[in-house]
Structure formats: C-alpha cells, structure tokens
Amino acid sequence: MLKLTLKVSVAVALITVSGMAESMSRTHNHQVKYERGLKEASVKNSPMKIGFPKHNHFQEDKEVDLKSRFLNDEECDTIIDKEFIEICYDYDFKAAKSVAYTLEGDLVNETNIKERPSFYEEESLDEDVRASRYDYTNTGFDRGHMAPDAAFDWSEESLESTYSMANIIPQIPYVNREMWTDVEKYARRKAVDLGEVKIINVVKYDEDDAERIGESKIAVSNGFYKVLYNEEEEFEECYYYANKEYDDESKDKLEYHLVDCSEVGYK
C-alpha cells in the first residue's frame, strides 16, 4: 500500500512539473513574440531606420511656399507661365504684381545675345486687360523689365519671354537704368558665386489712387522689392526701390536699398 501511494505521488509531481514547464514555455514564447512585435513596430515607425534619400524635395517645397505667398489665386487674377519666368498679373493694374524666376550661374553670362526682340502684347490675356508698348509713349516712364533681359540673353526663347508686356511695368528712367540695373547685376554675380539664385520681384501699388498711363490705363507702382534666395547656401537678401525721382542720384549705393525680408509685401 505504501509503495502504491509513493508511485501515485511521484506521478502527480511529474505531471505538475511538466505542466508548469509547458506553461512557462508558452509564457516565454508569448513574451518573445511581444518583444519582437514591439521592436518591429519601432523599426517600422522610426524615420531614422528608414533613412532619407540624398535628394529630397525640401528645397523645392520651400520654393513653393515662398512663391505661394505672392503667386497664388487670391493675389493674382492669373498666373502667366512663360517657361522661364512666372508672372502674377493683375487685370485692373494691367501689369505684374510679382514675377518669379531662377538665375542659373552657368547661364547668365553664357551667350549674351546682342540683338534684342521687340516688346509684344501678351496674347494669353484678353485684349481688354492687356498692356501695349504704345501706352508708354511720351509718358516720361520707361518700360521696365521685372525679369531682366540681360539675365536671359543666353537663348532666343528665354530672351523673348522677358519682352512680354506682362513682364513690364512703368519705371522712373533713372531707377530703371541705374538703380534697378545695379541690383540686377548683383543678382547675376550671386548666381555665379552660389550656382543659382531664385528671385521674386514684388510690386507695391496704391490700390485706390494709383497714377495711370496710356490708353490702357496702366497703373504706376509706388516701388518694388527684389528678393534673392538660395536655401542650400542659407542665403537670403531683399532690396526695395521707390519708384520716384531722387534728389542726389550720384550718391546711390546698393546697400542703401537693403531691407529686412519680413517687410516684403504687396502693401
């Protein structure tokens, strides 16, 4: 009887130990799977594990963000894409509110085509909102380029794009021929130094009482900004030129027109 009792006790003990071992094994397996799942989820959700491509669209996105402050459907009656330049055009002013383009350092001084094309009406616009070259005749104002012809004279097509009257605004002669020309030359030098420079020219108008010229009644601006930037080089500079006669033109310097870029705007 004693032997039978001992055998039963031993059997029960073995069954108990076996069950505990199996239970511990299952618990361990669940724990391993759980920890593996956490690790896989961590790897899946961590951007550092994925890595970033050498070329991403951060710079292009910043360009779109900056341009969209000025070239958008709310500010522009239409945006004219001339392939080499983009123009935010206002139907009432019959002129550009802003013009955006990129200066490529290896192109700005590449060819320098000498013969200039004629100014032409922008045919993508309805006739009643277009400006004509003849609107400027005997007005005392120059036909002032926003995107400069001298920066795009490396091909006939690029040069032609700057002679659309949509890219032209009335400018005081000295401002156009000396002051504005100086900052345009400076922008080309920076494009050569940095490889490229993006430009946005922003024009300020008196919406309620702007002077008008010509049969088309083109609005004359109060002044204009030139924004130069290159994100990769962390470069950004802004300049402002009042569209007025200056008392002592000979003393003008580029740095006199340097402004804080937070000031740039249509108003």
> Can you tell me the distance from the alpha carbon of 129 to that of 143, in angstroms, rounded to the nearest whole number?
17
Domain spans of the chain, in order of start: 2-50, 58-263
- pTM here is 0.76
Beta bridge partner(s), residue 212? 219
Specify the higher pLDDT residue, 42 or 133. Answer: 133
Q: Tens digit of pLDDT for each residue in 86-100? A: 999 999 999 999 999
Q: Could you say which DSSP state residue 229 is in? A: E
DSSP label at 147?
S
Q: What is the band of 66 on the pLDDT scale with cuts at 50, 70, 90?
A: confident
Q: Which CATH superfamily is domain 58-263 in?
A: Extracellular Endonuclease, subunit A (3.40.570.10)
